[in-house]
A and B are shown apart, each in its own frame.
Chain A
Amino acid sequence: MNYLVMKRLVRRKYQLTLWSLFSLAIVSCVFLDGVEQASGVKAGEIFKATLRAHVNAAQERNNVRFVIAVLVPRSWKASENMQISYSAKDFGSGDMVPVPASVRAPNSDNNAVWPTALKNKFGIGPNLIDDMEWVVFWTGKQYNIKGGDNPVIEAQIQIKSGMQNMKFKFGYFVGSSEDGLNDFLGGPGALYKTLFSDCFEVTDGEGDVQDFCNPPQTFFDPYRATDNDILTLTYDRDILPGPLGDEIYLCATAQLKDGSTITSCEPLEEHRLTPVEGAAGRFEITFWPRAYFGLSKEQAIDQIHYYFTDLSGEIKIGYGNTDEPFVYSFQCD
């Protein structure tokens, strides 16, 4: 390596180091040190978790609130059923309160309100079924932070669990009302942190286990819907390998609320599933049930019973590769 190239590299390294030090020096980094929680809860009982976080403040922040958000199943209605209290030595303690619905998360895409901003940025974490929501709280009090302050926060989270038997992974977010989702200062994620739990189980409740942790053979998005929603049905052929090739059609029967049925099982182009980009073995179809089954204005669907077929209709795959149909029930809550 000649002298000039080496000199340039050394200078570049020096600049990078300086920039890194500068970045670290001017920002207040937020750290999520851990969350203690049980691995399960009995349905309807109180779920408890202890979250620990700290801030290395290198810059003054006035009238700032500490923000904690939890990713939970929608059916838990955590915005009504969650309480968070906190204590931070030398700063104070108190209760956290829900962030008002109109407050937008600073530095978020499209200046979105907090739950939407977190959903846009972190999605549903490692969960596989999108029937979850970010519920966002912040400290009831505002604080003035000086450079050099290192508040250590311990928060007690309590949520009344839902009645549905299920498995899912909690998500936790910590950040501040001032910096929001700022990815510029200090680099991405310096001013906020997230953490997702292992699979958590709700037991002794109602219904079959809704499993958000493990990949299902088929699933609907949205998970909860009416026949007037636009539904995406995904089929993962590789979960239980069977005889179907890449040409897969939906064969479905609508069970109407009036007790009658409508079957739509022809191998038409509009019934064909298409491969999901970037997910080998997965196929999907997006449809509007009211149009798919040609409902009149008075008709409404209670359930869809469905299979997947090949073009000829001779191969027909049901639940667990049996002759039993998959079943989807329309419900909102």
Chain B
Amino acid sequence: MKLLNQFRTFYRQCIWLSIIVVGISSCKMEEIAALESVKNIQGSWQITKATRNGTDITNKFDFTLFRVIFNDDGSYQIQNSLPFIVSTNGSYALDDPQYPFHIQFTETESERAVGSGFDYPIVGEGRILTLTFSAGCSSNMYSYMLEKTNNP
């Protein structure tokens, strides 16, 4: 009987030791390279939602024809202008290629550089681009939500 108890104790100790060994080995740190992708905004974008000082004005004004086209050479074009960060064509730059929070537009004609808040979340199957800026008085804030479009 005593021998049986000793065997049981030894058996339990073996099981606990195995669990600890397996546990320690499974806790081994492995470095996984998870590089954030470079944000690529090239393409033609159209406005799908617009707010003015927090009020949705999407259906009050015709935003449908406006396009901003970002090219891979760092240039952009505006089509069917409306109150926006810039009104003529030029170049653009993000403050960080992987984690951008700001976009800067520089008009070719005037060399005027204007910045905007930049948000680029994944929504549904693609990304949306949200730009926040003032077009007239600095106290009036506009936020345009844009989606890539295949219709130029």
Which A residues lie at the B interface, using CB under 8 A? 74, 116, 119-120, 130, 221-222, 224-230, 232, 284, 286-288, 291, 332
Which B residues lie at the A interface, using CB under 8 A? 52-55, 57, 60-61, 82-83, 135-140, 142
A226 to B87, CA, bound (A): 15
Given A232-B60, A286-B61: A226 and B137 within 8 A (CB)?
yes
Point out the residues of chain B lying under 8 angstroms from A130, CB to CB.
53
Point out the residues of chain A lying under 8 angstroms from B52, CB to CB.
222, 229-230
**Which of B54, B57, B136, B142 counts the most A-chain CB atoms under 10 A from its CB?**
B136
5 cross-chain CB contacts under 8 A: A119-B53, A224-B139, A228-B135, A284-B60, A291-B82
Point out the residues of chain B lying under 8 angstroms from A226, CB to CB.
136-137
Shortest distance between the CB of B134 and any CB in chain A (Å) = 9
Whether the Cβ atoms of A229 and B136 lie closer than 8 Å is yes
Whether the Cβ atoms of A230 and B57 lie closer than 8 Å is yes
Given A130-B53, A288-B83: A225 and B61 within 8 A (CB)?
no
Given A222-B52, A222-B53, A222-B140: A229 and B135 within 8 A (CB)?
yes
Shortest distance between the CB of B109 and any CB in chain A (Å) = 9
Shortest distance between the CB of A116 and any CB in chain B (Å) = 7
Point out the residues of chain B lying under 8 angstroms from A221, CB to CB.
55
A279 to B135, CA, bound (A): 29
Whether the Cβ atoms of B54 and A119 lie closer than 8 Å is yes
Whether the Cβ atoms of B83 and A228 lie closer than 8 Å is yes
Whether the Cβ atoms of A227 and B136 lie closer than 8 Å is yes
Given A230-B83, A288-B82, A288-B83: A224 and B137 within 8 A (CB)?
yes
Shortest distance between the CB of A288 and any CB in chain B (Å) = 6
Point out the residues of chain B lying under 8 angstroms from A225, CB to CB.
136-137, 140
Point out the residues of chain B lying under 8 angstroms from A227, CB to CB.
136
Point out the residues of chain B lying under 8 angstroms from A229, CB to CB.
52, 83, 135-137, 140
Whether the Cβ atoms of B83 and A222 lie closer than 8 Å is no
Shortest distance between the CB of B111 and any CB in chain A (Å) = 15
Whether the Cβ atoms of A222 and B61 lie closer than 8 Å is no
Whether the Cβ atoms of B61 and A287 lie closer than 8 Å is yes
Point out the residues of chain A lying under 8 angstroms from B83, CB to CB.
228-230, 288
Shortest distance between the CB of B96 and any CB in chain A (Å) = 18
Point out the residues of chain B lying under 8 angstroms from A116, CB to CB.
54
Whether the Cβ atoms of B82 and A222 lie closer than 8 Å is no
A91 to B149, CA, bound (A): 58
A322 to B53, CA, bound (A): 33
**Which of A74, A120, A291 counts the most B-chain CB atoms under 10 A from its CB?**
A291
Shortest distance between the CB of A333 and any CB in chain B (Å) = 8
Whether the Cβ atoms of A120 and B61 lie closer than 8 Å is no
Point out the residues of chain A lying under 8 angstroms from B135, CB to CB.
228-230
A291 to B63, CA, bound (A): 13
Whether the Cβ atoms of A228 and B53 lie closer than 8 Å is no
A284 to B61, CA, bound (A): 11
Least CB separation from A331: chain B residue = B137
Whether the Cβ atoms of A222 and B54 lie closer than 8 Å is no
Shortest distance between the CB of B65 and any CB in chain A (Å) = 11
Least CB separation from B59: chain A residue = A286
Point out the residues of chain B lying under 8 angstroms from A74, CB to CB.
139
Point out the residues of chain A lying under 8 angstroms from B142, CB to CB.
230
Given contacts A222-B137, A226-B137, A228-B136, 5 further A-B contacts (CB under 8 A): A229-B140, A232-B57, A232-B60, A287-B61, A288-B61
Point out the residues of chain B lying under 8 angstroms from A291, CB to CB.
82
Least CB separation from B81: chain A residue = A291
Whether the Cβ atoms of B53 and A230 lie closer than 8 Å is no
**Which of A74, A120, A229 counts the most B-chain CB atoms under 10 A from its CB?**
A229
Whether the Cβ atoms of A230 and B137 lie closer than 8 Å is no
Point out the residues of chain A lying under 8 angstroms from B139, CB to CB.
74, 222, 224, 332
Query: CB < 8 Å: which of A120, A230, A288, A332 contacts B138?
Result: A332
Which 4 pairs across A and B sit closest by C-beta, in order of nearness?
A: A229-B136, A226-B136, A332-B137, A286-B60
A52 to B142, CA, bound (A): 36
Shortest distance between the CB of B82 and any CB in chain A (Å) = 6
A132 to B55, CA, bound (A): 14
A120 to B140, CA, bound (A): 15
A245 to B2, CA, bound (A): 106
A119 to B82, CA, bound (A): 26
Point out the residues of chain A lying under 8 angstroms from B136, CB to CB.
225-229, 332
